Amino acid sequence: MSLARAFDIAAGAVAAQAQRLNAVASNLANAESAAAPNESPYRARQVLFEATPARDGTAGVRVAAVLEDPAPARRHYDPRHPLADAQGYVTLSNVNVVDEMINMVSAARAYQNNLEVMNTAKTLMLRTLNLGA
């Protein structure tokens, strides 16, 4: 039944967007995480979406991979910091807070849109159950 398919697609998309929101949350939480001079700092995580086409031409979505941002780590001059290196620089994560905020708003909007699809599909399925009654 096609409406159940619509429901499944939207449910998959909600899960994918939730995973993206999780990545945003860990990136923002670790935006200021410092690393010791000989350790690698936190790298921003980005989820990569991928369409999962079905034979009837519809397509769900799933998270294909969670990639680490290859951008260089931020270095911040603070000689009094306990994790500062010999030159007085602290290595911080490479999280771009502005990008993450945009990502967060976008993921939240997409989440809402798909939730509404689920709601509509549910209502229509319930109405269909009453057919002939």
Partner 1 sequence: MMNRIEDALRAQSLALELRAHRQSVLASNIANAETPGYRAVDFDFARALRAALARPGAPLPRPQPQAEAQPAADGNTVDMDAERAKFADNAVRYEAALRALNGQIRTLLDAIRG
Between 45 and 76, name the residue whose CB sits nearer to partner 1: 45
Please give the residue ranges that form the binding site for partner 1 (CB under 8 A). 1-3, 5-7, 9-10, 12-13, 16, 48-51, 56-61, 106, 110, 113-114, 116-117, 120-121, 123-124, 127-128, 131-132
What is the rounded distance in angstroms from the CA atom of residue 45 to the CA atom of residue 63?
13
Least distance to partner 1, CB of residue 125, Å: 9
Helix (H) / strand (E) element for 112: namely helix 97-129
What is the rounded distance in angstroms from the CA atom of residue 56 to the CA atom of residue 31?
43
What is the rounded distance in angstroms from the CA atom of residue 18 to the CA atom of residue 112?
11
Least distance to partner 1, CB of residue 118, Å: 9
Between 40 and 130, name the residue whose CB sits nearer to partner 1: 130
